[in-house]
Amino acid sequence: MSAQPVLLRRTTSNVPPSEPGAPSAVVPQQAPGSGGKADFIPIADEDPGDWDPSASKHKRKISDLPHEAEYNRASVKTSLELISDEEEGGNMDDCASHVSNSEFSDFPPFDGGSGGGGGSRGVGAYWIAAIRHSLSTSRGVAGLALLAMAIAFVVSRSAVSSPSSSSSSMVINSPLSSKPNPDSKDVTYGEFHEETVGAPMEHYAIKYNNILFYDSPDKMKRMLSKGPKLYDETVGGGLHLFEDVCLTNNVEQLRYRPQDTALRGLIYFTGEYDDNPRRCVPCSNVEPLGDWDADEQHSPVEAGVVGHRCGMPGLHAMFASSVGDWTDCIMEDGNARLMEERHQTQAPLNVTTIHFFQKPTFLLQFNALDMEKSLFDMLLTYLPHWQTFMEGAEDNKDGFPFDGVISHSLEGCLSHSHNWFCEVLHQMSAFGHAKEIPWENDENTLYCYTELFYNQVGYQRDLDHEGLVTKETFLEFRELLFRKLGLPRRPTLEDRLADAEVEKMYPEAKRTKTADEDLDEADVGDDTKIIFYDNKLGDNTVWNEMESLISKARGLEKYQNIKFVTVTQNFADMTVAQQAKKFNEADAIIMAHGKYMANAIFSVDGTSFVEVGCKVESLIGNPRFMDLIGGKYFSVQRCNKKKNMEDESATLCVICKEEGGDMDFTMTPEAFEQLIDAVVAGL
């Protein structure tokens, strides 16, 4: 058993001054509680670590000091009496027991100092000696290493849990500060000093699903826009490719142009207009055939105001050197006021986040409120490219060159919308396997694209570009729709004649009425079928007294083989398949002027189309479009009183209640009979 430790305390010195020949120290014969005699009394040295606790007596450093100086340093009387609990301020038995069981039990007793204030020096010397001794043993080194690892772990955990990861900067504070810095956001105060540390780049640019997310325009890398470039000149124009551009929305389009949802703004990054203070203000290029390079020649007023090119129809150009430059430019008072005056205010105005799409994306832009315009303004331009993409996909080639589709014209167009045009796109697999990019309910997010495909709005509205949409292409498109929607009549006359031969050979193959079909008596038989629609349940031009005119015509002998069918349900309340079926079963369509005439794409070759109204401006009536579907078209409009007086035969017209465009109208029985005769003659 190791000896119990002895606690020493220093008392007031009563050693007389040294004299020559006097003993250098008083050596007691026995140390109480030590179990033996004290061979020596340690003398305080400049470096307590120099003495060897295993030595039998004190070893002093070699020194030039005389022996008297050494004696004077030890001229204090030392007591070896045990310190009581009351004097120490604690239970010394516990302390002694703890020390005796430790690895440090064989250490020499430490110097306790005098009084309560001097004890700290002795305790510090003891622990210094203890640490030194620990470093000389393997168990001690291992213990200190574990202690250091524990301290490092606690410090690292405290740093991770500090509220600095969610802010753009972290500040370690001065102890002199007791309140947050009013000039800084998300400031954290530490212990020693104040220092601003930038967050890592990953904090600002997080990539997920091939999209880079930036939470600040300043962190987005500088872009250099390219394009537009025709994607495939061999197929035809209309489809362009842009690189490194961003899109905005015209927030005033529904206020000032409620009939059009096809307006977009495009930010083009270039140094071309850096000196132009109005580089960020968009202007409208309304020319249907205008291209990106058009400036004062096509839009002299608009381009003269902003001093830069206006872009393309439906895609209004804005120029900037960076996203941050654009946001600063549009927030200037003069530019914001000019955009508001010209109804060109864009969103987002205050950009805080940016979604940068890394995969090629198709911009699906169309007028969601007008079926006819969406068909002509977008689809007729895209059809030739769609056919090429479909052929490539079938040959296991590249197929569709884009991976995503985004449309701000209508939310969820390809996923859950029942919009007429969206349903057509869905049935024809217009974009292959490309995913639709959903909208974000965030007015401060700007969408940017590495590659953006833009199908120029209105490029084929007038079908002036021959060769783009061929009859073969359009027939392939219609065949696919007929098959997907289960339409009973084949599109071409040749196909229908072939079906008739099959029915003669196999009578059981003849189509009959089934219980689950909503067909009326006029759906069967060989009689000519004319379908009428007065639009009374719609919101456009209304044909008054149409039912009474049909009732009188049915009584005429010459029309006994004509089936007059009226559409009593609003087309807006029908599904696309129901609308398609109505047009597919008709030999002629006579209806009040309106957008629902776009259903002509579901009609068979040889169908006649008549639009009736006070003023008719129709895209369907384009001669080239009628050639594509093998149809015939004419319109009946307001009566010209002067012309009627000069030519009594000019009675095929409508009577309007007021002057103007779309409004209610009616027709005389004589004019209606003349209309039916003209239609039957053309069948």
Least confident of 33-47, 256-270, 433-447: 33-47
Residue 304: pLDDT over 80: no
Q: What is the mean pLDDT of the chain?
A: 74
User: Which of 562, 568, 559, 558 is closest to 532 using CA atoms?
Assistant: 568
Alpha carbon of 471 to those of 156, 461, 475, 605, 624: distances in Å? 72, 16, 6, 12, 10
pLDDT tens for 496-515 read 777 777 777 776 655 544 33
Which domains are delineated in the chain?
Answer: 1-161 (no CATH), 163-199 (no CATH), 206-469 (no CATH), 522-681 (3.40.50)
* Partners of residue 404 on adjacent β-strands: 361, 435
pLDDT at residue 631, rounded to an integer: 95
pLDDT at residue 78, rounded to an integer: 42
Residue 633: pLDDT over 50: yes
In terms of Cβ atoms closer than 10 Å to its own Cβ (0-12, 13-18, 19+), residue 508 is exposed
pLDDT at residue 298, rounded to an integer: 46
pLDDT tens for 90-135 read 444 444 444 444 444 444 444 444 444 444 445 566 666 666 766 6
pLDDT tens for 184-209 read 444 444 544 444 444 444 444 677 78
pLDDT at residue 9, rounded to an integer: 43
pLDDT at residue 155, rounded to an integer: 64
Helices (H), 447-507: 471-485, 493-505
- The arithmetic mean of pLDDT across residues 31-60, rounded, is 41
pTM: 0.66
- The arithmetic mean of pLDDT across residues 79-88, rounded, is 47
Residue 278: pLDDT over 80: yes
pLDDT at residue 529, rounded to an integer: 95
Least confident of 267-271, 514-518, 632-636: 514-518
- The arithmetic mean of pLDDT across residues 217-227, rounded, is 87
Residue 543: pLDDT over 50: yes
- The arithmetic mean of pLDDT across residues 266-280, rounded, is 91
pLDDT tens for 566-600 read 998 889 899 999 999 999 999 999 999 989 999 99
- The arithmetic mean of pLDDT across residues 663-682, rounded, is 92
Beta-strand pair 78-79/9-10: antiparallel
Q: How far apart are CA 424 and CA 437, in angstroms?
A: 19
Residue 219: pLDDT over 60: yes
- The arithmetic mean of pLDDT across residues 468-479, rounded, is 93
pLDDT at residue 497, rounded to an integer: 79
Alpha carbon of 641 to those of 112, 592, 634: distances in Å? 128, 21, 20
Least confident of 147-161, 448-462, 604-618, 631-645: 147-161
pLDDT at residue 46, rounded to an integer: 43
Q: How far apart are CA 175 and CA 546, in angstroms?
A: 89
Residue matched to tokens 């509220």: 163
pLDDT tens for 331-360 read 888 998 888 888 888 888 889 899 999 999
Q: How far apart are CA 173 and CA 169, in angstroms?
A: 13
